[in-house]
A = this chain, B = another copy of it.
Amino acid sequence: MSGFVHDNRGNIVDLEQHVDLEADVHFMRMEWALDKFAIPRDKLPEELEKITSPFSMRWSLFFSEDRPRVAVFASRESHCLYDLLSRHEAGELRMEIPLIISNHQALETAAQRFGIPYHYFPIAGENKAAQEAAEIALLREHHVDTIILARYMQILSEDFVREFPDRIINIHHSFLPAFPGAKPYHSAYRRGVKIIGATSHYVTSDLDEGPIIAQDVVSVSHRDSVEDFIRRGKDLEKVVLARAVWHHVERTILVYENKTVVFH
């Protein structure tokens, strides 16, 4: 691959590799400058196919000026949403946020402050399928390719998830696989753990079972109440989610067998 780039006058600016010896798979991420590159953009897929097909390689091609279009889903908690919006505004996350979707009206002010359209889709039992269909239509209309669940407290249906394979990023408020499901801080408190955590992962049809992207933890003690767990956990949640989103939009994550290779 590096020979191919060099031969066509591409200047490699980043290169990372990983070999999973057990699975016998080679992973590679290469980033190169196109200034003097001999192959025009629109011919690149074709040329890549030519050189990779003999080796049964799978590849994806992204141009760094094509920013991922991201929809943020949130419910009532504001910490992850504000965190994403302020990072985005500061230029840390190279993506577009054409819209925010919520099953509550609580965070509309936050969206307005950052000038992002807010779409309210209340979910009440029987209307879920219809609401999801409407959401999907809206997401398509906005050419959204990635969804961030910023403490979105609704379980997406299998059909919905299937529309965005490896492109829905969730933050779960425990160090998975410990405490999946609802109210993990309460469960952690009852169990008397000395460490709490947060996990960001791609969403699959198995709840809280998707490929883990990032995790972090913080120490707690008997002096911490469940409210302390929640307060301190929020700091983990927003930082871990943002880290996962950063890697996703920088295209450094490769998903394989329900696991992730997260390059630098």
Contacts and interface: CB of A to CB of B under 8 A. Distances in A.
Interface of A: 12-22, 77-79, 82-83, 86-87, 89-90, 92, 113-114, 175-179, 191-195, 197, 211-217, 219, 221-225, 228, 231, 234-235, 239, 242-243, 258-262, 264
B21 A262 contact: no
A190 B213 CA distance: 14
Nearest to A3: B3
B222 A195 contact: no
A264 B191 contact: no
Nearest to A216: B195
Q: Which of A77, A83, A192, A225 has the most CB of B within 10 A?
A: A192
Nearest to A194: B215
A84 to B, nearest CB: 11
Contact of A21 (B87, B113, B179, B225): B225
Nearest to A259: B192
B260 A192 contact: yes
Contacts of A114: 113
A92 B194 contact: no
B222 A18 contact: yes
Contact of A195 (B82, B175, B259): B175
A195 B175 CA distance: 8
Contact of A194 (B16, B86, B113, B212): B212
Contact of A260 (B79, B219, B222): B222
Contacts of A12: 19
Q: Which of A22, A213, A239 has the most CB of B within 10 A?
A: A239
A195 B215 contact: yes
A261 B264 CA distance: 14
Contacts of A195: 175, 197, 215-217
Contacts of A242: 235
A13 B17 contact: no
Contacts of A213: 194
A222 B212 CA distance: 11
Given A17-B15, A178-B177, A231-B92, A258 B225 contact: no
Contact of A19 (B14, B20, B224, B243): B14
Nearest to A115: B113
A228 B14 CA distance: 14
A86 B92 contact: no
A261 B222 contact: yes
